[in-house]
Amino acid sequence: MSHPRIYMDYNATAPVLSKVKETMMECLDVVGNPSSVHYEGRKAKQYLENARLAVAQSLCATPEEIIFTSGGTESNNIGLIGLAYLAQRLGKNKSILLPPIEHPCIVGTAEFLREKGFTIEPIVVDTDGKIDIDSLEKQCRNKPSVMAFSWANHEIGTIQDMETIVTMAHDHQILVHCDAVAAFGKLPQDMLDLQRCPIDTMSISGHKIGAPWGVGALRVRQGIDITAIVEGGKQEYGRRPGTQNLLGIVGLGQVTSMLDTMIVAYQQLIYQRTLFEEGLLALDGVSIYAQHVDRLPNTINACFHDLQGDILVASLDIEGIAVSAGAACSSGMSMPSPVLVGLGIKKEKAQQSVRFSLGTDSQIGDIHRTLKVLSSTLSRIRNINN
């Protein structure tokens, strides 16, 4: 008897929501360019600005603070590079603070800035990925110009104490970029109130929360004067040139208008996560990273001792279960997770991990079947290895 496939890789991409599809289908009839002044252009512009307002409201921001992009990677590039160049114009030290557990697009952007003469200083994190506040306070006294980090980690789910960190940074006149791609849509709305927690730039991505691929946004706090990193037009307040992806933006606007319901659904996944972790720990040779700290409600990163994570991912795929061994942006490469290595875990052990990420369509039955398949798969692989 064949079973329907089970999808447990929501942190890589979430399925496009039905309501989002409907709204995007309506937008397919729009023929104007949002930059054109005629009726068709004005109609397209209205769709664009309605979506901008929806995204802004979801972040407790103003529409003028929202820049639409192609996704999290571009948003992180514009935000981090923009703040670095702003700091340079203001005569600040060319020094950037960055945890060693960031997404590849943040790490890659930091390396680009290193080539431009900036120094990159690692922020100390503990074995669960939490930023060491005492160590950070000491680093802030050295007057770095920019700090960048993720609100919640994309692989292990650890949530940072954003208010404390941002307040500390601003007390030392440090500009802050936040990668909120993994957190947005999964955490209670009051945690993402940018009036209460005034992050300078913050990135989100559509395909992580039920909007289509290829669309994201960057929130730039009012008064933060970042400039475009590419040339060619004055769209998006001159900060992101090029004709906007109206279809994707409309989808992103629609999903952010549904955020309250989505957040409730994600918070309810804590029960499924707990049930799954109990089942995992009942198996031989399994441990869970960051299990006892505040985490995303849908994320489980498990170490299967003496087994290669990529082999287990492939074996589960054959059984109809989709999981991952790390960030999708670095998958396909046989290398240890940089996040786990950044936690101080040895490379050999870091290659033994698998990430399971649940979503709004996940069911209790998926948990039970995955645990059953895991039990038999682990036994089979270990028997082969022995």
- Which are the catalytic amino acids? 329
> Taking CA 311 as the corner, what is the angle to CA 308 and CA 315, rounded to the nearest 5 degrees?
140
Is 180:47 a contact under the CB 8 Å cutoff? no
DSSP assigned state of 240: S
- How many residues are listed for the chain in this entry? 386
C-alpha span between 191 and 226 (Å, rounded)? 25
Return the beta strands (E) in 32-143 as ranges.
Answer: 66-69, 95-98, 119-122
C-alpha span between 32 and 40 (Å, rounded)? 4
384 Cβ partners below 8 Å, 6+ apart?
none
C-alpha span between 102 and 122 (Å, rounded)? 11
Sheet containing strand 353-357, edge to edge, reads 286-288, 299-304, 353-357
Helix (H) or strand (E) holding 6: strand 6-7
Give the other-Cβ count within 10 Å of 103's Cβ. Answer: 24
286 closest CA partner among 370, 343, 362, 363: 370
